[in-house]
Structure 1
């Protein structure tokens, strides 16, 4: 029986051809693209000698805040070694764009430009937008907002001439005292972490940005900062499989383009003493590549960190990272030395030629997928304006609105009488806050007070007496530190002052700090109402006031457990 007549068969063949050529505008994701032969990749690869192939594995550090001599030294390394990519750190957007243009002219094969942008390029650059921290995002119930954030972050990266984000962080932060992940995580619930991370990475990848889930197999339950020493992860294989690895497995199923390996000692996965997971072939190749079937880019965490170089100095770490199966060796202490050592390893057949070639081609394929086969200079015209566009600022406010979490209180407790004498107190600051200014509009019979985080006991006692004259008190607790840790850096006197304020049920307290800090403020639960806002930004302060004045229905839910009273998933509606 004939299924097709000749004209139908011709139409079918044409349609299939159009789909394979993406004529309908559907671009393969990076992982899918690896299934197709790529003539550009093959052509570039054939022109490279072994040294240049090895150099493609190396991504080196770059800054725009260290002066011309530093920039020139980076330029010399790029020109001499023809490395595969750069990782930019602190600086400014226009300076960085100019520097990217300069550096790209020094290479025969365009560089992949990467950055840690967990909350956008504002994580590293001045004069740009910072989106909420991932812990704040963990409170949001509408993951479509996080997808939109991914799209906007991708725009910023590409507008600046960057192709790869070392994010999202997909660690499960189930240790409140974690010194290095903490607020960088979406929380302590593995399903929420996976869902939020996937929404974020899909938003970025759908806009053509390479992404990197980190830090495999999970850095969330450590009490050591791997920048300073090697953390030990003492858990069973079963626990690691079911908990720590879960978000990474889900991200791999969702098509994540890259995974970054953590520097951790994990005896259940590799019993070699003091061996960072980055340097472990059983972990990098055996588990990530083979067991989890990850086909994308495997990225080492920074190879200059103490967790690695303390135990494997003089380039040994770079060689071990290469042999373990990492595609990208990030921030080697000495890339020139490392390239030379790895060339020797390849020459001595300590790795198969097939595996080596495949890794180099994968990096070239990433460059092709990101559009570097048609490299264009970054235009600096209107750059700062483009990076601070209204649609992005509006999204930051929407994300902030969606994150506010009510831990205690109903509508009456939160929105007290606007015609009563009201005290509005901000703690941890030395000038009036946006929260106070916005609240003053809603409560016109007001007095504003600020309390320094180290205010003397005599001053605090006098203020407590003054506040007794008011019918109601609104308090904001603020952490102004760049890294909002799980414990406030307030004096004990100030913490006791907060306890005294909370003992009055006509007090509403809003915490613009890491949610874990609430556990260190005994008696805070006695206040009339308590709101968690996770970090101190102008947007979140405006969002909190919207909730207090009942202009906004709170939708946030706690992404972490604080104590027995305030547990993961708690979030009251009014």
Structure 2
């Protein structure tokens, strides 16, 4: 093979490289010239050289001292004081220690230091307790415009500046077209040069537009290497034409858009410079002739770290630093021996390899960059609220939105995803690679009942056998593959045992697999394409796990596309779009335009007042807007004296909210089927009422509490003799065939036919003398009979089979002790006049208890989350989970004011705001809103005008119903009003 001399090679470059597009000069050039000139004038020739040197620093001081590295604070301080170096690059540590060190180093520096960091995916790449954004490859999966990536760059810039930083060595502009690349891989946006360029430009602009210097890397392109330049010198054997058209393309785009800096890689590239073993960092044909002259780049050219084996293997002891400047670089990063470097650079000047004028020009360029970054008016890092300022909720929102848009569905047999028909699925989840329940699994259970299993990285044969046996009972298995590594050197964290378990699960033909790791890991999984559905989630983070689970259930759509070719089955741009199904999405207040800090503080304050004032021992608050649950929190304890803290998963006695979450729901369903007519009369569906005073009462009037029905009948007292004993055929203290049903625990049982006595009491009760609004329980006690008569199904079965199980609202149930442990159910009153015991897991309402715990007016239990699912279906006019569960017409009819001309605020079953504020509803609720309260301390409210959904659960009746502070303090309505007030400010 013929070896060309460098001069001949330059001729080749001139003819082969395409002419660069017109470059936009970096904005820092020729700015603040007076400050630059004045500072420059104070510098000695050696100090001008030192301005071109950046040394490493760490804020993990103990580690630095133990390792005795050049980055330890003593060495850094010495170099700043004695050599007047130009900048520092921070590595491991934490934000507060780094800020303190930054302030100290700046205080002892003659010229303000340029502070840098490799923060490609956020400050968390180097320091703890800060924001970690998605990897660039994850971002490469995002389709459409790159506004969110720009915004991420802006957020990162603000965080960096808050920490006293001035430059981020990012973005990575390498086109990763080698799946086995050991050093770039996930750090690249992908394999398509156009996509890489577009996203790199968006990221760069976001940072620079917000005052942070940037440095694209690793020029001329590190994407097609099989060697890590940290450990050796990689060889790039491509032609000039290939390098120009592919590897350099993103760098050209960045130059054209005014990037401030570019970092040179340590690569051997014979097509550009055939000097043996010469890294591109030290090559004048590459740094000056190509980057500076041909591509027209006028910004700062940085070396990659000068301690890497890619350069030090052949050029040790400071010689490489001098050669780097000779080649055309402006800044030397991570110089290992500053004194040797300065000595070698001075030697180069003396030998005429580089002139003092060139050094001076580069020094002035560095000073101009410092001035642009604000160092001409240097201020120390403010230590107050540093952690909070570096972890704003706005950054979390960007993280969530970026992750959501990146998630990629690669396989979806028969459009299985998103999951529909939850009532037909018996679901298990298996998280592979974890020892405890995962974030993925915790989010899955928000949508329906899921049985969870975990498989560690190296499971035993017994663990695997037990898993297989238990999974036989399920018809769908949601598998999360949790890969703890992103590197091909470690097989991406996939052990042989994990892979074997995964293959067994895929072979069941009922597995939906989510891979939380590098997309190239699909090459290590045996036949992942055989899964029923396959989701590439790109990373193992709480965001990817949470949102992948939400995608599976259709709370969010799938929109991502593979940014790289994995193999023939999964090529570049593969990705199946899936729709959202109108299920609840779980997020943070910022996604609906609210401030987490303000909302949380105000709601916390009200809830804590309720607890400290003993309005209730505890409560659960859940709020959603636009179908997005932005607030869910549990407060207090089950009881004032007990240790059990309230959990979001606790079941509460919903009391009268049963009326509209059960009875009204069933009636709307039957109205839809034209089996129930609101304008029919009571005798039409209750033949026994044909000769009663209620025969001709119209159901529309009955359901709006304007049919003259009595408020209630104290049924349990009617069963009692004057001496306090129970009348014949009422109650017994022993269970038997005649007294089969428990009223409370094992101490009181009701006569088998007594419900008929209750119904007759209602039938024969007198009517109120005057017409008008009187809230009544009586008709609601009758609706289970009507539902059974019209549908042929028992009331509870009808609700569960047609609604609750379809919605995934599986905790909604009567008599919850059949299915749940007592510790999962919040107790209510200590009954001292009827059942003479603590009510725990039994319905609080006496009439409902006498009906066996199941009635249309009370008796339903459930969690806040499951109640909200029903109410979200209401709010969406009958649509939920991809199905029109109820007709739009039903929701419109039942939730509108029925008799406003009579001054009635009621809908059909539903309560609505009074025409003049009275406190029954939130003060700012719209006229289209509807809801209900429950005697035990419950409130649900939906507002279509604001698309708000609110659930408040409490046990205010503990220990006694005499406590009504929950109402006198306006706890329930005030919490929702907080949200209205904040929205009104927008």
**Could you say which TM-score interval applies, normalised by the shorter chain?**
over 0.9
Q: State how many pairs are aligned.
A: 545
Q: Please show how residues 93-104 of structure 1 align to structure 2 within 5 Å.
A: 93-104=95-106
Equivalent residue, structure 2, for 1:117:
119
Equivalent residue, structure 2, for 1:350:
353
- Cα deviation, 1:121-160, whole Å, max 9, x if unaligned, reads 0111111110011111111123100000000000011000
Q: Is contact 2:444-2:550 (8 Å) kept?
A: no
**Inter-partner Cα distance in structure 1 for 2:496 and 2:399:** 34
> Unaligned 5+ residue runs, structure 2?
1-23, 66-71, 579-986
Tell me, yes or no, if structure 1 residue 47 matches structure 2 residue 42: yes
Change (3 A) 1:115 1:30: farther
Q: 1:552 aligns with which of 535, 550, 556?
A: 556
Q: 1:538 aligns with which of 539, 542, 548?
A: 542
How far apart are 1:412 and its partner, in Å?
3.0
**Inter-partner Cα distance in structure 1 for 2:490 and 2:219:** 23
Q: Please show how residues 281-292 of structure 1 align to structure 2 within 5 Å.
A: 281-292=284-295
Equivalent residue, structure 2, for 1:412:
416
**Inter-partner Cα distance in structure 1 for 2:211 and 2:488:** 32
Equivalent residue, structure 1, for 2:90:
88
**Inter-partner Cα distance in structure 2 for 1:37 and 1:74:** 28
Q: Is contact 2:174-2:218 (8 Å) kept?
A: yes
How far apart are 1:346 and its partner, in Å?
2.0
Equivalent residue, structure 2, for 1:16:
none
Equivalent residue, structure 2, for 1:246:
249
How far apart are 1:416 and its partner, in Å?
5.1
- Cα deviation, 1:238-287, whole Å, max 9, x if unaligned, reads 11111111111111101110000000111110010000000001000010
Change (3 A) 1:256 1:485: farther
Secondary structure of 2:161's match? Answer: helix
**Inter-partner Cα distance in structure 1 for 2:260 and 2:132:** 23
**Inter-partner Cα distance in structure 2 for 1:260 and 1:295:** 13
Moved more, 109-118 or 341-350: 341-350
- Cα deviation, 1:469-496, whole Å, max 9, x if unaligned, reads 2111000001123758683333323312
How far apart are 1:431 and its partner, in Å?
1.3
**Inter-partner Cα distance in structure 2 for 1:485 and 1:132:** 21
Tell me, yes or no, if structure 1 residue 153 matches structure 2 residue 148: no
How far apart are 1:376 and its partner, in Å?
0.3
Query: Normalising to structure 1: TM-score of the pair?
Result: 0.92
**Inter-partner Cα distance in structure 2 for 1:208 and 1:171:** 24
Tell me, yes or no, if structure 1 residue 391 matches structure 2 residue 394: yes
**Inter-partner Cα distance in structure 2 for 1:86 and 1:30:** 25
- Cα deviation, 1:336-360, whole Å, max 9, x if unaligned, reads 1101221232244322343222211
Tell me, yes or no, if structure 1 residue 173 matches structure 2 residue 168: no
- Cα deviation, 1:412-455, whole Å, max 9, x if unaligned, reads 344154333211000011111100011122121x2211111222
**Inter-partner Cα distance in structure 2 for 1:549 and 1:126:** 33
Equivalent residue, structure 2, for 1:443:
448
**Inter-partner Cα distance in structure 2 for 1:567 and 1:167:** 27
How far apart are 1:36 and its partner, in Å?
5.6
Q: 1:479 aligns with which of 483, 490, 512?
A: 483
Change (3 A) 1:361 1:281: same
Equivalent residue, structure 1, for 2:515:
511
Equivalent residue, structure 2, for 1:306:
309
> Unaligned 5+ residue runs, structure 1?
1-28
Q: 2:238 aligns with which of 235, 240, 246?
A: 235
- Cα deviation, 1:356-403, whole Å, max 9, x if unaligned, reads 222111101100111100000100100000111111111111111111
**Inter-partner Cα distance in structure 2 for 1:243 and 1:94:** 42
Tell me, yes or no, if structure 1 residue 428 matches structure 2 residue 430: no
Q: Is contact 2:32-2:371 (8 Å) kept?
A: no
**Inter-partner Cα distance in structure 2 for 1:130 and 1:408:** 29
Q: 2:108 aligns with which of 93, 103, 106?
A: 106
Query: Normalising to structure 2: TM-score of the pair?
Result: 0.54
Q: Is contact 2:28-2:369 (8 Å) kept?
A: no
Equivalent residue, structure 2, for 1:206:
209
Secondary structure of 2:54's match? Answer: strand
RMSD between superposed Cα atoms in Å: 1.6
Q: Is contact 2:27-2:260 (8 Å) kept?
A: no
Equivalent residue, structure 2, for 1:57:
52
How far apart are 1:460 and its partner, in Å?
2.0
Moved more, 482-491 or 364-373: 482-491
**Inter-partner Cα distance in structure 1 for 2:121 and 2:459:** 33
**Inter-partner Cα distance in structure 2 for 1:136 and 1:219:** 18
Moved more, 58-67 or 70-79: 70-79
Structure of higher CA gyration radius: 2
Secondary structure of 1:192's match? Answer: helix
Q: Is contact 1:213-1:258 (8 Å) kept?
A: yes
Secondary structure of 1:90's match? Answer: coil
Tell me, yes or no, if structure 1 residue 361 matches structure 2 residue 364: yes
**Inter-partner Cα distance in structure 2 for 1:279 and 1:33:** 25
Tell me, yes or no, if structure 1 residue 452 matches structure 2 residue 447: no
Q: Please show how residues 333-348 of structure 1 align to structure 2 within 5 Å.
A: 333-348=336-351
Tell me, yes or no, if structure 1 residue 379 matches structure 2 residue 382: yes
Equivalent residue, structure 2, for 1:401:
404
Q: 1:277 aligns with which of 277, 280, 300?
A: 280
**Inter-partner Cα distance in structure 2 for 1:548 and 1:413:** 6
